[in-house]
Structure 1
């Protein structure tokens, strides 16, 4: 009887539905440098002196419903603003590298990156959440954000 139950269990597990594909980022591929859309969504970027970023939607074309938007950005901050962020949010060198779209990879600073939950939370606003990666010693912050 035990063998029968084991066979039934294996059969039930083996017949499960295949995993759903991961919702991919899609966009126009346009590299943007305008600051207003970033500053409007993320007030914590106040003081930003420059940026390169891309955006688009995240999801699957075969699934109806509202879209989730994404922004991958590399922003340049003055030294004083970097000091404020580090002092207020105590990021640590966790070795977490930013996961950005291909078009942004050439613009990433080398790292290592200072990261942490408190630094991420500084960039959460409304329906937007973000993962923040401060490149040590460069004044550059990589922001990987999703929202709606």
Structure 2
């Protein structure tokens, strides 16, 4: 057998043996199967409005919000270094009458819809009995085609539920 650095032989596999190699392989598979979503702020619900108002300018001024920012794909030790996608999801209170005004454009064609994948941390902030509506054209208008997102409006509550990935700052709002 050929000797490697440190006195081990090639056939020795650094002393692990067959069972050790199998155990190492099993640990690698388990690590790859762990969740790949990790909150960038420890799962803490945020209430600051400025980051949302800079990204979702078409909603107008907000009077309240509960939201999360979560980095996707950073919880695994096996992940490849590189750009990180960020999920921004939450509920925001719009000014009185804002939802009716947003729904007034006939080209938007709002239809009943139900938000999916609601994080448990936000469940208590969802308006009770809200009847959500959604429009694909409104989603495209909000995202400007630069990121993915879904926006559900609550006509009876003047609220919006948003679920976006990598929402960019609107060009007119500065950094």
Aligned-residue offset at 1:99: 2.0
Larger CA deviation: 35-44 vs 79-88: 79-88
Give structure 2 stretches of 5+ with no counterpart. 1-31, 168-175
TM-score where L is the length of structure 1: 0.75
Aligned-residue offset at 1:79: 2.7
Q: Relative to total residues, which structure has the larger strand share, 1 or 2?
A: 1
Aligned length: 129
- Seen in structure 2, the aligned counterparts of structure 1 residues 26 and 144 have a Cα distance that, compared at 3 Å, is same
Structure number, greater radius of gyration = 2
TM-score where L is the length of structure 2: 0.64
Q: Which residue of 1 aligns with 2:143?
A: 124
For the aligned residues, what is the CA RMSD? 2.4
Larger CA deviation: 50-59 vs 120-129: 120-129
Q: Which residue of 2 aligns with 1:4?
A: none
1:25-74 CA-partner distances (Å, limit 9, x unpaired): 32111111111111112212222111111112111522213110011110
Give structure 1 stretches of 5+ with no counterpart. 1-19
Within the alignment, does 1:107 sit opposite 2:107 as a pair?
no
Distance 1:98 1:44 in 2: 23
2:164 is paired with a residue whose SS is strand
Q: Which residue of 2 aligns with 1:48?
A: 62
Contact 1:98 1:142 in 2 (8 A): no
